[in-house]
Homo-oligomer: A and B are copies of this chain.
Amino acid sequence: MEPSPSPSILLRRAKLKVTPTRVALLRILASAKHPLSIAKIARALRQSADRVTLYRALDALAKAGIVRRIDLQHGHAHYELAQDDHHHLVCTSCGRTASIRLPHRLTVSPVTLRRTGFARVTRHALEFFGLCRSCAATAPRVSGRRN
């Protein structure tokens, strides 16, 4: 796990202004072990920033490739720093997540690309869903929203 560059360096590289909100935001994401929901990020920022600013900042950071927006199928987006190439394993019962790596890189072959009329693939999203051990032990719930 490489230490990722400091928030301000990341921001400057992307030609984004280095503002307190963005720095704090990136610090929060950097110290998180799992993808965070907007609600959790907002809580961590303790209303030092408006919701709208948060959305806009995450949007800008995602476009710059600094953060990744992830769908854990909880009904709202989650965000993490775009560091290494990993994927997520999500418990559909309690929402727990774990990071995993695949032994091979996921690619779309040039032939498939041509057949489908696409010019190029820029990224992909892969999540695995299942049950963690403790949830598998108890009666599996199915519903509800989790962070």
Q: Residues of A at under 8 Å CB distance from B? A: 63, 69, 71, 73, 89, 91-92, 96, 98-100, 102-104, 106, 108-109, 112, 116-133, 135-137, 142
Contact = CB atoms under 8 A, between A and B. Distances in A.
A118 B131 contact: yes
A126 B25 CA distance: 28
B106 A126 contact: yes
Count the copies. 2
Contacts of A69: 73
A128 B124 contact: yes
A120 B78 CA distance: 23
A12 B69 CA distance: 38
A130 B126 contact: no
A75 to B, nearest CB: 9
A118 B130 contact: yes
A118 B130 CA distance: 8
Given A120-B136, A123-B128, 15 more contacts: A69-B73, A71-B73, A89-B116, A91-B118, A96-B117, A104-B104, A119-B130, A119-B135, A119-B137, A121-B130, A124-B126, A125-B126, A125-B127, A125-B129, A126-B126
A89 to B, nearest CB: 6
17 contacts: A63-B142, A69-B73, A71-B125, A92-B122, A98-B117, A98-B118, A100-B108, A100-B116, A106-B128, A108-B130, A118-B130, A119-B137, A120-B131, A122-B129, A122-B131, A123-B130, A125-B125
